[in-house]
Structure 1
Amino acid sequence: MIRTIRRSRLRAAVAGGVVLLVAAVGAVAAIGFGGGSAGDAAEASAPAATATITRQTLADTQTADGELGYGTTRTATTRLSGTITGLPATGSTVRRGKALYLVDNEKVVLLYGGLPAYRTLRPGVEGPDVTQFERNLKALGYTGFTVDDEYTGDTADAVRDWQEDLGLPETGRVEPGRVVYADGEVRVESHQADVGAVAQPGQAVLTYTGTSRVVTVDLDVDDQRLAKPKAKVTVKLPDGRSVGGTISTVETVIQAGATGANGQSGEAETKIEVTVAVTDPKALAGFDQASADVTFTASERRDVLTVPVAALLALAEGGYGVEVVDGDASRIIAVTTGLFADGRVEISGSQITEGMTVVMPK
């Protein structure tokens, strides 16, 4: 549908973000009735503001507060009873096969993997936890067994060699309290117990993080659309520099509520924890615990026609249109809307082209 409108006619816009309602009213009615002034008439006949249909990349972005650090902090809890006799220094790095801490002067060893140790591994046991352990055993240089999901006598023989090297009893079995699994090497963040303390199963011994500098952002659940693994982001550092980054992990976490004056905890809150790895890790050198702004791109439309959102008109028959200037007159053209971002909106339609001038309703 095409309608031609003289540019001297009044236009009244009802502000509301995306939807604008345009009403054309005769100037005589405005001045001749209801006590309108000559100034009102002059304003009504003033030239309307215009904008140009442009072709560009439109991106829906959002910036959130992030924290520079080493990522999620995790807690190592012992499953053994005894006395804590050794702890690594805070800030130190522990790698695969090394002791994360000692109980009764026997090592509790760090291995790599995502499945926690939950049962004793012995001949006859099968499952993914066996595969995970055997991969670690092979990576540490032990041989004579096949890496699969079966814990065999050959596996037990290799375990005895491993236990001998660690100074542990050579049982051929692996108790769940003897190993701790992490995604990779870890950085010891803090001690939760002192050397000489009596250890009981379930007691926190220390906290640890990864060893790579990352940026962590806690998003509201409503903003989960921003948290897309492997998506690109931009990180603005405290010194004003900007570096690129990639979302490496996304986790749903429950944050405990703040403790009030009465000693009771407030309501827990669900958050989306996003970890961002920067493209140039050296750019984070010199920053310890500091804040950074992280800009996410939820969606992007490349090479599309756009107009200011305020140029949209709500059509009586439904949908939206824009008023295109055509010489001394103008005409309304129906359009299809797409992405809204940064005060502009993507539009498409067979009758619109780049460079057209559209009226901005008053």
Structure 2
Amino acid sequence: MKAGLLVLAALVIGGGAAFVLLNQPAPAAEPQAEVPATATVERRDLVDTQTVDGELIYADEQQIAIEASGTVTWAPDQGKVVKRGQSLLKVDRKPVTLMYGELPLYRDLYWGVGDGPDVRQLERNLKALGYDVTVDDEFTYSTYAAIKEWQEDRGLEENGRVTAAEVVFLPAAVRVKEVAAARGDKVRPGQKALAVSGTKLQVHMDLDASDQALARKGSKVSVELPGGETVAGRITEVGTVAEVTGERDNQTTTIDVEITLTKKPKTRLDHAPVEVELQSEKHEDVLAVPVEALLALREGGFGVEVVEGGATRIVPVKTGAFGSGFVEVKGDLKEGMKVGVPST
């Protein structure tokens, strides 16, 4: 009986307790963790990259000396592009004309001068400017007549003779970088009058010598320009002589690297800072996730948040190559899995 009473008492007590519990408000259900935005674990090739500083410049800078003597009556504005047949400068109102060619005008050219490549160079320019002349190494009457016609058009003395006071030969069109002989200045033969450069922008880098392996002639690069514009480029020249700058503990050793851009950039700024992404090593057929999928783990290292259905779990990973916004990952992952990324 006593045992029965105890059981009954226990039931009563239990019933009372149950009564109390049943009459209490039901606890709120715990909110489920929100499933993050996801990206897919991919198998792809990655190219390891490194970003270095560079400078946007107009290449082939040089000083132009003129052989005219007198007063500068016209000078170009800084940044002006001078093409074949146009004036680099005017001295005593007489133009000093740009023509294209690799050979400097080392002698006067006139009817009776000996044959030579400089004659052909002059005739080629006259022809390109629309004058009727035969292009060869011989200075003929047709050359003489074409020069006189050109001199008339340029407002020069019509004597059929071309001198270095009238013509400067350069390989191509130039951009005026600096005017050393301004309007009103007196000039004399051999004086530096202009600083000019090529008309195309390119990128120059003083690359740390320890990173020389990153710069291979012909390699493709990506260049971020002022304003966020990105342009593809190709390494066209890598210096072979190291340059040391600074003193003692602050010395740096660099090599010159030149990059040609594949298209004309929107900016025309000279000496503007840029960032160059160089390719170092290619990793083929690796598992990769977007860089933003990486999580820093409390115990050190990195992991990713694997999303399976409505559940998530953290999987530690080892990272490898970085490139194009992706990172190589090694761990308990398979191609096609979903991993969490920050929502946009």
Q: Same fold (TM over 0.5)?
A: yes
Which residue number in structure 2 is paired with residue 134 of structure 1? Answer: 123
Q: Are the aligned partners of 1:124 and 1:152 in contact in 2 as well (CA < 8 Å)?
A: no
How far off its partner does 1:250 sit?
7.2
CA distance 1:65–1:139, shift in 2 (3 Å) = same
TM-score using structure 2 length: 0.57
State which of 263, 266, 272 in structure 2 corresponds to 1:290.
272
| Total equivalences in the alignment | 245
Output the CA distance in 2 between the equivalents of 1:248 and 1:150. Answer: 38
Kindly indicate whether residue 78 of structure 2 is the aligned counterpart of residue 90 of structure 1: yes
Rate the CA distance shift 1:295–1:141 in 2: closer, same or farther, 3 A. Answer: same
Whether the 8 Å contact between 1:218 and 1:274 is mirrored in structure 2 is no
Q: CA deviation at 1:274?
A: 1.8
1:217 is displaced (CA, Å) by 3.1
Deviations along 1:282-330, whole A, 9 cap, x unmatched? Answer: 3x36x554211224457x768599xxxxxxxxxxxxxxxxxxxxxxxxx
Q: What does 1:148-167 correspond to in 2, within 5 Å?
A: 148-167=136-155
Shift of 1:101: 0.1
Counterparts of 1:158 and 1:225, CA distance in 2: 53
User: Which of 199, 216, 224 pairs up with 2:187?
Assistant: 199
Moved more, 197-206 or 111-120: 111-120
Q: Give me the identity figure in percent.
A: 41
Matched-pair contact (CA < 8 Å) for 2:236–2:259: yes
- Counterpart among 276, 283, 294 of residue 260 in structure 2: 276
2:127 and 2:263 map into 1 onto residues whose CA distance is: 32
Alpha-carbon contact 1:219-1:271 (below 8 Å) kept: yes
Cα distance in 1 between the residues matched to 2:190 and 2:254: 25
Local SS of the residue matching 1:110:
strand
Q: Distance in 2 between the 1:130 and 1:112 partners?
A: 13
Q: Give the Cα separation in 1 of the matches to 2:114 and 2:240.
A: 33
Q: Distance in 1 between matches of 2:108 and 2:244?
A: 33
Q: Secondary structure at the match of 1:281?
A: coil
Q: Secondary structure at the match of 2:104?
A: coil
Tell me the distance in 2 between the aligned counterparts of 1:224 and 1:168.
56
1:180-329 aligned within 5 A: 180-218=168-206, 223=212, 226=215, 228=217, 231-247=219-235, 272=256, 274-282=258-266, 284=267, 287=269, 289-297=271-279
SS of alignment partner, residue 176 of structure 1: coil
Matched to 2:274, the amino acid is A
1:174 pairs, out of 162, 182, 205, with 162
Q: Distance in 2 between matches of 1:203 and 1:147?
A: 32
| Cα 1:278–1:184 shift into 2, 3 Å | same
1:168/1:119 CA distance change after superposition, 3 Å = same
C-alpha change, 1:132 and 1:275, in structure 2 (3 Å) is: farther
Aligned to 2:335: none
1:117 positional shift: 2.3
SS at match of 1:177: coil
CA RMSD, Structure 1 to Structure 2 (Å): 4.1
Kept in 1, the 8 Å contact 2:67–2:165? The answer is yes
**2:215–2:235 Cα contact (<8 Å) kept:** no
SS at match of 1:157: helix
Whether the 8 Å contact between 2:181 and 2:194 is mirrored in structure 1 is: yes
CA contact (8 A) 2:221 2:277 kept: yes
Q: Which stretches in structure 2 are left out of the alignment for 5+ residues? A: 1-42, 248-252, 287-319, 323-329, 331-344
Distance 1:119 1:220 in 2: 45
Q: Give 1:114 deviation, angstroms.
A: 2.8
The equivalences for 1:1-16 within 5 A come to none
Q: CA distance change for structure 1 residues 191 and 227 in 2, over 3 Å: closer, same or farther?
A: farther
Gaps of 5+ in 1: 1-53, 261-268, 306-340, 344-354, 356-362
CA contact (8 A) 1:233 1:245 kept: yes
Question: Hey, what's the Cα distance between the residues in 1 that align with 2:100 and 2:149?
Answer: 19
Q: CA deviation at 1:182?
A: 2.9
1:219–1:274 Cα contact (<8 Å) kept: no
Question: Given that residues 233 and 297 in structure 1 are in contact (C-alpha distance below 8 angstroms), is that contact kept between their aligned partners in structure 2?
Answer: yes
| Counterpart in the other structure of 2:296 | none
TM-score, structure 1 as length reference:
0.55
Q: Tell me: CA distance 1:239–1:91, structure 2 relative to 1, closer, same or farther (3 Å).
A: closer
* Distance change >3 Å, CA 56–CA 120, structure 1 → 2: same
Question: Which of 90, 94, 99 in structure 2 is aligned with 1:102?
Answer: 90
Give the structure with higher Rg (CA).
Answer: 2
2-structure distance, mates of 1:227, 1:137: 41
